[in-house]
Amino acid sequence: MISELLNMNGYGVYVWSSFIFTLFSFSFLYAVIKLNLIKEKKKFEENYKSLDEKKLASVAKQKTYREILANTSTSKV
């Protein structure tokens, strides 16, 4: 039963190698995107921390920045 599933009438080699390739590709893509997200988040936090009080108050009023800062652990708002 299991050997029939793995063999798939002679097409098992192609099916399973395609499945493994796809799984590897998606895993790699996920890792790259996650690393880029972390990098961009750090850049945003560094830029946000370098603002003076007047600019911080104006940024805190903007909806987009509030949403971004709500997802960061070190937000000042």
- Residue 77 in domain: no
Domain that holds residue 32: 2-70
Under 8 Å between Cβ of 77 and 60: yes
CB contact at 8 A, 56 and 76: yes
Q: How many domains does the chain have?
A: 1
- Here the tokens at position 66 are 């509030």
pTM of the model: 0.61
Question: What pLDDT does 4 receive?
Answer: 84
* Residue 75 belongs to some domain of the structure: no
- pLDDT at residue 33, as a whole number: 97
Measured in whole angstroms, how far is the alpha carbon of residue 43 from the centre of its chain? 15
Give residue-wise pLDDT tens across range 52-72.
777 777 777 777 766 766 766
pLDDT digits 0-9 by tens, 7-36: 888 898 999 999 999 999 999 999 999 999
